[in-house]
Amino acid sequence: TQLLEQSPQFLSIQEGENLTVYCNSSSVFSSLQWYRQEPGEGPVLLVTVVTGGEVKKLKRLTFQFGDARKDSSLHITAAQPGDTGLYLCAGVFKRSNYKLTFGKGTLLTVNP
Amino acid sequence: NAGVTQTPKFRILKIGQSMTLQCTQDMNHNYMYWYRQDPGMGLKLIYYSVGAGITDKGEVPNGYNVSRSTTEDFPLRLELAAPSQTSVYFCASSYPEDSASKQFFGPGTRLTVL
């Protein structure tokens, strides 16, 4: 069983602060995705990273894929209340037939 | 496009009852998935399908059944509901062009078994 660990599990910060969320595995990912989920809704894809060392930016969100493709991070600059939600990382492992393995998620609360 | 739609949104079942969770997608995606999400546990794959007539078990298939007679529909059947099946169920679909396939999720069905 391939496991994917996310940390921290909970994060409560003030508006304007920066934060980083981590996603780690002992296995190599073919690709890794970050999703955001709001209460009562399904997850929505934010980004997909495929190449080791890859960095992608989405406005104030920066996503990084580790060189060895075993870990990833999501950094949010100047967090806003609208960033509140559950952030999920999900990895595609080799020979998994495109199945995603999800982490348990980081529940982020940004207080005004 | 409506994307992925799921019905019902909410349902309460008694132990031993049966029900079918409906899922439909209008994006002509080959791959479809059923997940369950429990508090603090992320999403667990129940069953998936790579095309009409083809289904396979995921990580937690016990107590569930699926069928895929068309590209659009992928219903999930609970035969004998148990309290352990209380959860939020998500259906998703994707068109895997490569290993970085993007999954589109429905809004979920919140099921309570009493």
Q: Is the dihedral of CA B62, B99, A96, A1 positive or negative?
A: negative
Task: Read off the pLDDT of each residue in B80-94 and give the average, rounded to a whole number.
Answer: 95
Q: Is B70 helix (H, G, I), strand (E, B) or coil?
A: coil
Using the Cβ of B107 and the Cβ atoms of chain A, whether some distance falls under 8 Å is answered with: yes
Q: Tell me, yes or no, if B27 comes closer than 8 A to chain A by beta carbon.
A: no
Size of interface A-B (CB pairs under 8 A): 61
Give the 3-state secondary structure of residue A62.
strand
Kindly list the residues from chain B whose CB atom is less than 8 angstroms away from the CB atom of residue A90.
43, 103
Instruction: Look at residues A32, A23, A68, A52 and name the one whose alpha carbon lies nearest to residue B102.
Output: A32
Residue with tokens 């546990």: B41
Would you say residue B99 has pLDDT above 60?
Answer: no
Dump pLDDT digits (tens) for A46-98. Answer: 999 989 999 999 999 999 999 999 999 999 999 999 999 999 999 988 766 67
Least confident of A67-71, A99-103, B88-92, B95-99: B95-99
- pLDDT tens string A6-45: 999 999 999 999 999 999 998 898 889 999 999 889 999 9
Contact A88/B41, CB-based, under 8 Å? no
For the beta carbon of residue A67, count every other beta carbon within 10 angstroms.
Answer: 11
Contact of B94 with chain A, judged by CB distance below 8 Å, is answered with yes
